[in-house]
Amino acid sequence: MTIDDKITAPSEVAHAEAVKAETEPKGSNSDSSQTSQADVAELEDVPSPLEQQSLMQLTRAILNPNGDDPRIDQYITSSFSYILSAFYKMATATDKDVAAKEIADDLNTKFENWVAARESDKEGKEEQKEEEKIEEIN
């Protein structure tokens, strides 16, 4: 099997999810089962499970072709999950501005936490270097 085959051949799970998503009725009550054309068009902006799986496989083939580093796979999976969640939130939101602000605030918080963690790690390494220098002097 070549890399191209791996990229284009969806897994059985992804195929089953795609079939289920296409055949499953949308909503159980009468209000939600009657979707407007605008709602359908917005949901079309969200990639199908088959498209999602294909993009994830392509990304894995590029970033971790031999599957050597499981952390890369975790990063890819969590990143795609987050992005798709944001797509779905925007597609199904009644107030797009509020949904966009929630997503932006969440991203901002995640970024600030990441920066704080890096600074903390950097400070810890600097303190460790200073302690090593003191030990060398003594």
Q: Write down the pLDDT at residue 125.
A: 82
Which single residue is written with the structure tokens 């003191």? 134
CA distance 43 to 3: 30
In a 13 Å sphere around the CA of 94, the CA atoms on its Cβ side amount to 2
pLDDT, tens digit, for every residue of 73-95? 999 999 999 998 998 899 899 99
Q: Which of 78, 80, 13, 19 is nearest to 46 (CA)?
A: 80
Q: What angle do CA 127, 131, 134 make, to 5 degrees?
A: 140
pLDDT, tens digit, for every residue of 31-88? 444 445 555 555 667 788 888 899 999 999 999 998 889 999 999 999 999 998 998 8
As a whole-number percent, the residues of the chain with pLDDT over 70 amount to 67
Q: What is the pTM of this model?
A: 0.56
